[in-house]
Amino acid sequence: MTERTERAVGGAVERAVHAATHAVLSETADGRPGKAGDARPGTAGTRPVRAAEGASAGAAGRPSRAAGREDRGRSVPAGDALGEVTQPSRAAVAGEHAGAAGAVRGAGGAGRPEAEGASAPAGDAARPLRLGTRRSKLAMAQSGQIAQAVRELTGRAVELVEITTYGDTSREHLAQIGGTGVFVTALRDALLSGEVDFAVHSLKDLPTTQPEELALAAVPPREDPRDALVARDGLTLDRLPRGARVGTGSPRRMAQLNAYARSHGLQIETVPIRGNVDTRIGYVRSGELDAVVLAAAGLSRIGRSDEVTEFLSVDFVLPAPGQGALAIECPASNADLVAALAELDDPYTRAAVTAERALLAALEAGCSAPVGALADLSGEGQVVNEMRLRGVVGTTDGATLVQLSTTGPVPTSHGDAVALGRELASEMLAKGAAGLMGERVL
């Protein structure tokens, strides 16, 4: 990473996080149990977009890894790639949430150019920016939101370049094919080859090691981090019948759902499943399963929150590290683009997910390990001054959980956030967490 890029990413983000500690307290996940229709925590940043019909995960071809390459899709203008777009305003995407964007732009003066000054190299200024995205309905929806925000920031057209990843086409369980990182490799290859200019990921899918050639330019305001139950007949978890079959592709969810069932006298069977949102909810509609558990943020982004029968409290089901957040990545060598995209960064979300991912990395656990983590912010009156980080590791049958938390001052730098995550991971390892995760990433 060049010195110029380090200034664009590191300096701007650290000043932003420091400034944000004095900003007005934003709405954060409060851990209360929710039913469909309850106010969702952390939803101020983006609004749902309905993607084009038929754009679902796994829609294109066989796993391309067998042929030694990833399949590439056609480039389409961002506006045409989506059906009906609910266009977020710049304020909504860049930090309407607690005035964070204002704090970011006002922090330090120099070090983060305004969008008008963060132009692309002269030879490229006329061409559209190419945004790499997976082809699933959810990926297209969230990439469409970011495309619109970047268009408003830079004044340049943005086109979506659809890319099929091995994770989209393989029907094997994620733990067998490398965890959620399999959704990222093809997009990163496209960035490094120059096929696309930037990419949008679900942050929980990113491996915790960041390649030097790529910059995590922005983490926009987080959506609701909770998990959500979609059950037959409008049922909640406590009202599911004895022996109910609950589908999820996540060992983390299995561990916590089974632990909750054990402690509340419920009898459920957790069933491993794969597939896009339509496929998973279809298992419930067909009667094959009694319920499925999905990320609330994903359902919100595709306009399907009304199908949720219960938002699961983070007090008994912690989300995956980074769940509900997006990651915008681009080549580290393109300092102008790094600086422009950094306008979308939310310092609250950046600090929280950095601590969560540091915990995951320190546990030496992969993306598919049964690890949950959530950092939330609190304060006195209207001033944010404290962060609480919670973590959990458990066996998938729910028989054993290690669940701990730590609280400290709001991190004022990347290093402070990492230190908080590592501190909690160390305590969890001392309580036996290593023996509950299966194979660790060494």
What does the CA dihedral 358, 360, 365, 370 come to, rounded to 10 degrees?
180
Phi-psi region of 32 (alpha: psi -120 to 50; beta: other; left: phi over 0): beta
Q: Are strands 129-133 and 198-202 parallel, antiparallel or unpaired?
A: parallel
Cα dist from 195 to 82, 152, 160, 192, 334, whole Å:
21, 23, 11, 8, 14
Q: Is 376 a catalytic residue?
A: no
The answer to whether the beta carbons of residues 383 and 439 sit under 8 Å apart is no
Calpha distance 63→330 (Å, rounded): 25
- For residue 268, the cross-strand partners are 244
Cα dist from 110 to 105, 117, 120, 150, whole Å:
9, 12, 19, 21
Quote the crossing angle between the two packed helices 277-285 and 137-154, to the nearest 10°: 140
Position of tokens 């490229």?
124
Alpha carbon of residue 189 to chain centroid: 20
The string over 52-86, giving b where at least 16 C-beta atoms fall within 10 Å of a residue's C-beta and e elsewhere, is beebbbbbbeebbbeeeebbbbebeebbebbbebe
Check 205, 290, 346, 416 and give the catalytic one. Answer: 205
> 14: buried, middle or exposed (CB in 10 Å: 19+, 13-18, 0-12)?
buried
The answer to whether the beta carbons of residues 204 and 104 sit under 8 Å apart is no
> 119: buried, middle or exposed (CB in 10 Å: 19+, 13-18, 0-12)?
middle
Calpha distance 200→220 (Å, rounded): 11
Calpha distance 283→200 (Å, rounded): 28
Q: Tokens at residue 305, please?
A: 């929150």
**Which positions are annotated as active-site residues?**
205
